[in-house]
Amino acid sequence: MIYTGPEPLPDNVMPSLTAMFLSRVEKSPDKEAFRYPDADDNWVSVTWQEAGNQAELWAAGLTALGARPGARVGIAAGTSYSWTVAALAIG
């Protein structure tokens, strides 16, 4: 369901992608969330909890660098797992 109005969000609608991500971390922390190839082309599995922890670390780092809510933050990187975590930390 997509939110389109000024009224309060219905219970079944998440306010943002980051909120959906954090909800998934809470609901299934030990399930696999992502897989990506390492430098040797071996697949690395990441749980929702691990991804959530990494996003929190990125967010803390951005805050330490002076980023505040509403600030514009850019990501200059190729498509990767790290890019995904960075985007969730910014969200």
pTM for the predicted model, two decimal places: 0.78
Q: Which two tokens stand for residue 66?
A: 């002076």
Q: CA 69, CA 67: separation in Å to the nearest integer?
A: 7
Task: Give dist(CA 7, CA 63) in Å, integer.
Answer: 31
Instruction: Give me the tens of pLDDT residue by residue for the chain, a chain 91 residues long.
Output: 444 555 666 666 667 788 889 989 999 999 999 999 999 999 999 999 999 999 999 999 999 999 888 888 888 888 899 989 998 888 7
